[in-house]
Structure 1
Amino acid sequence: LDIHYESQCVPTPIAWYFHHMPGWFRRLSTSLTFYIEIYLPLAFLLPLSCLRKFVFCQQVPFTVIDKSVYDSIPDALTKFYYQIDPYQIVNPYGLFRTMTGLNGRPEVIVEGALDPDGPWKEFDFYSKPGN
Structure 2
Amino acid sequence: MLFHSPAFAVFLACFLAGLPLFRDRARVVYTALCSYVFYAWWYPPYLPLLLGMTVLGHFGALLVERAPARLPWAVAVTLAPLAFVKYSIFALHNVGALVGLDLPTATPWHLPLGLSFITFTLIAYLVD
Give the TM-score taking structure 2 as reference length. Answer: 0.30
More relative contact order, 1 or 2 (CA 8 Å, 6+ apart):
2
Give the TM-score taking structure 1 as reference length. Answer: 0.29
Q: Which has the larger radius of gyration?
A: 1
